[in-house]
Amino acid sequence: MIDDQTLLTKAIEARENAYCPYSKFPVGAALLCVDGTVYTGVNVENAVNGLSLCAERVALFKAISAGKREFTKIAVACNAEHCQPCGACRQVLYEHAPDLEILMGNPEGRFKRTTIRDLLPEAFSL
């Protein structure tokens, strides 16, 4: 199984493919599935405000569209210390992985460890 530092490295590397001409703030994510496979994602922005998608959701939707349904960990990296998933991503991640571990990283490979439950207490679910 992939170790935390390697998962974060995948997020850092993925970041290079971010499409972020408006914010100029590249973000990369690497999502680990229970079967050991990893799906990466980047933020994909759009000239129409509101249509952009965050790196975390791109990674998750790639994995789901490939048939994956169980996830253990996600690493996120941006050009800041401890890249925190936004509120929308927290809700979407919680739906599919209420026990998800999160590695909030920076480009140098340092990270802070947390969980989706800590980031989104009393989450909404049906």
Find the catalytic residue in 13, 16, 56, 70: 56
Which range in 2-10, 47-55, 61-69, 109-117 contacts ligand THU by CB under 6 A?
47-55
Q: How far apart are CA 21 and CA 75, in angstroms?
A: 23
Q: How far apart are CA 107 and CA 27, in angstroms?
A: 10
Q: How far apart are CA 59 and CA 49, in angstroms?
A: 21
Which range in 6-14, 31-39, 51-59, 60-68 contacts ligand THU by CB under 6 A?
51-59
Residues of the shown chain interacting with ligand THU in the complex, contacts defined by CB under 6 A: 20, 23, 25, 27, 43, 45, 52, 54-56, 76, 83, 85-86, 89
